[in-house]
């Protein structure tokens, strides 16, 4: 069974994604304390780990490309490395562009979600780094398959989807978001075209949220004026008429 996916994000009041661009908080309110709510709320959601897109994971992937040589038999199977009881940090990286040089991101065990076209050399590098991996179809875009494997092979029950907007958009279009946990920071970006928390890459006629509705399940105002909004994502019932 696939894990429950909770999209957990922080945005400006205009829904924008890039934290460094937001206006300063009111006098006496500390921006660090405001942003600290993100991890504190994440902990309250009791997830087994988190998922991010290739660009967002770049902040943790500081290794160099290497060619360690023969990776052993079964290199193209799902690989479960030594997790050491840690939560998982899942990177959606269809082309295998990330080079980790370590087995963890902020202490959480890295699981790479890849396209089947990545090379044996790249898989050997991940194995040498102690990174786990699984495949999401030929082009790495089959998120249903990836989530099924994450549930079955890694026993992940609940996972936080933590951006960026492109990755959130792909999960939205795939109908894979079960809940949304949005922290609204008391700040403004204000510029047209700056990425928002959902940035599905597709045709302007598409509606990636079609067939889904949001049911409000909670609002909390946190210290400093951060507002925590929670919704479940429901499948719109077919009209019987
Ligand atoms: N405010 C927040 O809570 C928050 C949270 C996370 C990130 N961020 C910020 O968001 C920015 C990055 O966001 P982003 O949206 O540009 O990048 P992203 O979602 O982190 O990564 C996008 C990449 O994911 C890959 N990908 C996987 N499946 C895909 C699919 N179905 N369709 C398209 N691409 C797919 C592509 O990699 P390839 O190019 O290799 O194909 C694509 O370039 C950073 O500045 C980060 O700091 C903010």
3-state secondary structure of 136: coil
3-state secondary structure of 16: strand
Model pLDDT, residue 68: 83
3-state secondary structure of 167: helix
Instruction: Say how many Å lie between the CA of residue 57 and the centre of ligand 1.
Output: 8
Model pLDDT, residue 75: 87
Length of the chain: 241
Query: Which residue among 38, 92, 144, 228 is best mutated to probe the pocket of ligand 1, counting the most ligand atoms within 8 A of its Cβ?
Result: 92
103's tokens:
């087995």
Instruction: Say how many Å lie between the CA of residue 95 and the centre of ligand 1.
Output: 13
Question: 78 and 114 in contact (C-beta within 8 Å)?
Answer: no
Residue 241 pLDDT exceeds 60: no
For residues 108 and 152, give the distance between their C-alpha atoms in angstroms, rounded to a whole number: 19
Instruction: Say how many Å lie between the CA of residue 128 and the centre of ligand 1.
Output: 26
pLDDT tens digit sequence for 77-119: 999 999 999 999 999 999 999 999 999 999 999 999 999 999 9
Give the number of the atom of ligand 1 that is nearest the alpha carbon of residue 141.
Answer: 31
Before 164, cis peptide (omega within 30)?
Answer: yes
Nearest CA to ligand 1 atom 46: 56
pLDDT tens digit sequence for 134-169: 999 999 999 999 999 999 999 999 999 999 999 999
Residue 240 pLDDT exceeds 60: no
Percent of the chain as helix, strand, coil, to the nearest 5: 20, 25, 50
Q: Residue ranges of the domains in the chain?
A: 1-48+157-241, 51-156
> What percent of the chain lies above the pLDDT cut of 70?
98
pTM for this prediction: 0.96
Residue 72 pLDDT exceeds 90: no
198's tokens:
């959902």
CB atoms within 10 A of CB 178: 17
For residues 91 and 56, give the distance between their C-alpha atoms in angstroms, rounded to a whole number: 9
Query: Which residue among 20, 61, 94, 105 is best mutated to probe the pocket of ligand 1, counting the most ligand atoms within 8 A of its Cβ?
Result: 94
For residues 184 and 187, give the distance between their C-alpha atoms in angstroms, rounded to a whole number: 8
Question: 179 and 159 in contact (C-beta within 8 Å)?
Answer: no
E strands along 30-176, which residues?
49-53, 88-92, 104-105, 108-114, 132-135, 158-161
Distance spanning both ends of the chain, measured CA to CA: 33
- Name the architecture of domain 1-48+157-241: 3-Layer(aba) Sandwich (3.40)
Residue 237 pLDDT exceeds 90: no
Q: Name every protein residue with a CB atom under 6 angstroms from any ligand 1 atom.
A: 9-11, 17-19, 52-56, 92, 94-95, 97, 141, 162-167, 170, 195, 199, 201
Give the number of the atom of ligand 1 that is nearest the alpha carbon of residue 10.
Answer: 3
For residues 226 and 231, give the distance between their C-alpha atoms in angstroms, rounded to a whole number: 17
Model pLDDT, residue 71: 65
CA distances from 155 to 130, 151, 225 (A): 18, 5, 37
* Mean pLDDT, the chain, integer: 96
141's tokens:
């875009």
CB atoms within 10 A of CB 102: 13
For residues 29 and 225, give the distance between their C-alpha atoms in angstroms, rounded to a whole number: 9
Instruction: Say how many Å lie between the CA of residue 173 and the centre of ligand 1.
Output: 15
Q: Which among 215, 214, 157, 217 has a CA at the least distance from the CA of 4?
A: 157
Instruction: Say how many Å lie between the CA of residue 145 and the centre of ligand 1.
Output: 19
Model pLDDT, residue 215: 98
Nearest CA to ligand 1 atom 31: 170
């Amino acid at each position: 069974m696939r894990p429950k996916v909770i999209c957990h994000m922080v945005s400006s009041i205009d829904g924008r994604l890039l934290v460094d661009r937001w206006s300063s908080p009111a006098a006496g309110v500390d921006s660090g304390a405001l942003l600290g709510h993100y991890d504190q709320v994440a902990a309250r959601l009791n997830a087994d780990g988190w998922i991010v897109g290739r660009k967002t994971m770049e902040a943790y992937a500081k290794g160099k490309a290497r060619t360690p040589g023969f990776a052993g038999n079964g290199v193209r199977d799902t690989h479960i490395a030594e997790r050491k009881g840690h939560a998982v940090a899942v990177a959606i990286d269809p082309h295998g562009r990330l080079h980790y040089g370590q087995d963890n991101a902020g202490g959480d065990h890295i699981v790479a979600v890849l396209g089947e076209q990545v090379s044996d050399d790249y898989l050997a590098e991940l194995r040498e780094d102690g990174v786990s991996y699984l495949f999401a179809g030929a082009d790495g875009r089959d998120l249903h398959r990836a989530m099924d494997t994450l549930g079955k092979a890694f026993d992940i029950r609940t996972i936080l989807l933590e951006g960026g907007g492109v990755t959130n958009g792909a999960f939205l279009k795939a109908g894979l978001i079960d809940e949304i946990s949005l922290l609204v920071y008391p700040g403004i970006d204000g510029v047209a075209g700056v990425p928002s928390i959902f940035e599905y890459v597709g045709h302007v006629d598409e509606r990636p949220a079609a067939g889904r509705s949001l049911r409000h399940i909670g609002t909390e105002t946190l210290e400093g004026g951060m507002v925590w909004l929670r919704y479940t994502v429901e499948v719109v019932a077919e009209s019987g008429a």
